[in-house]
A and B are shown apart, each in its own frame.
Chain A
Amino acid sequence: MTPMTLEAPVTPIAPPLVEDDGRYEIVDGKRVEMPPMSAFAARIAYRLAFRITLFAEPNDLGEAITDTLFRLPLERVRNRRPDAAFVSRRRWPRDQPQAIRDNAWDVVPDLAVEVVSPTDIAEDLLEKIDEYFRAGVTLVWVVYPRVRLLQVYESLTQTRGLTVNDTLDGGSVLPGFQLPLAGLYPEATDSV
């Protein structure tokens, strides 16, 4: 597997972007279609990425992005597509060039966000969280829109939940970032 050095050449694993624009991940070298994301979940992912950008931009801390494939340096090829992610300038300097046609970003994000959709399988989600940490992700946020709970993982075994009455903070990844969660969730017609 490609080591995580910034100088490492980009190894395209899946076909280049021009040929496929579906939502997929690469698991053990195989393309796995992802269930469609609800508009509701997409709005939550975007809101988080937007708030992170507002915070990170003035100090040039890094970039937030949604729905982007990342190539994870694991034993077997895994390209994962977190619903939102943050990549610090430390991990990807501002002037670092990137192949225009590469389907996946060859960097391990500092933060990965999963907004759980109704068809996501519990064990698959845990596997994904486990993978993120083994690949070198520092912080994982898992949002459960229906229950309006956000789980903060600092490792696979260090986690806590936050309700709409709590404030999310950026931990060591985004020190000083604060987001009251009351504003995160759009109004839903069918929440519990």
Chain B
Amino acid sequence: MTTAGAPLGDEESEHYEIVDGERVRLPPMSAFASWLASEIAFAVHSFAKANGLGEATTETLFRLPLPRERSRRPDAAFVSYRRWAKGKPLSLHDDAWDVVPDLAVEVVSPTDFAEDLLEKIDEYFRAGVTLVWVVSPLRRLVYAYESPTLIRVLTTADELDGGAVLPGFRLAVAELFPGPTDPAPDNGAA
């Protein structure tokens, strides 16, 4: 891919994505959503480094090789060494990482539109992402997409597993939703 992204200057500090060549601002993320994304990235990163599989990251813009230019910023992502060799240098100035992650994680924020989210999932797979985890903090669910049509829904009684992307990786969903949070609107004080 040769499309040069915008350089990372002072004015670029807020979160955005590139959709059809145009810069689109992302809605602000809740502190809880940020915490969740780092928690998942940390667990994946620790496992992947220990097993020599690759590296996780949060809030990183990825340039996706799609018919129209799309750069997406998953809340967390994992890139295997197979896709980006260990130690391969990254430009200090490029705003986006020129690789398709193996795993993309989206933590749903209260203002995310349903259709935008599904469009993003669809794009990830068309670009070559293998696994997408969508986390719903309000419902305390994780949707593990192996394709836009193959979906496993995990509750706090289940474990996330890394599938073909991170063989052997397991993370209890309950660990992602510790303690009391805002009650889900209809399960709470009735």
Contacts and interface: CB of A to CB of B under 8 A. Distances in A.
Contact of B122 (A74, A75, A147, A156): A147
Given A74-B186, A122-B108, A157-B153, A163 B148 contact: yes
Contacts of A126: 108, 136, 138-139, 141
A163 B141 CA distance: 24
A149 B148 contact: yes
Given A147-B119, A149-B122, A121 B151 contact: no
Contact of B139 (A127, A146, A158): A127
Contacts, number: 95
Most chain A beta-carbon neighbours within 10 Å: one of B122, B143, B149: B149
Contacts of B154: 157
A122 B119 contact: no
Contact of B112 (A117, A123, A156, A163): A123
Chain B interface residue count: which class?
20 to 34
A123 B186 contact: no
A93 interface: no
A3 interface: no
B115 interface: yes
A189 interface: no
Interface in A95-129: 116-127
Interface in B123-168: 136, 138-139, 141, 143, 147-151, 153-155
A127 B138 contact: yes
Contacts of A134: 186
Interface of A: 27-28, 74-76, 78, 116-127, 130-131, 134, 144-147, 149, 151, 156-163, 166, 192
The 8 closest A-B pairs by CB, nearest first: A161-B149, A75-B190, A157-B153, A122-B114, A125-B114, A122-B112, A120-B114, A147-B122
Interface of B: 108, 110-115, 117-119, 122, 136, 138-139, 141, 143, 147-151, 153-155, 184-186, 190
5 contacts: A123-B112, A130-B139, A149-B118, A160-B149, A160-B150
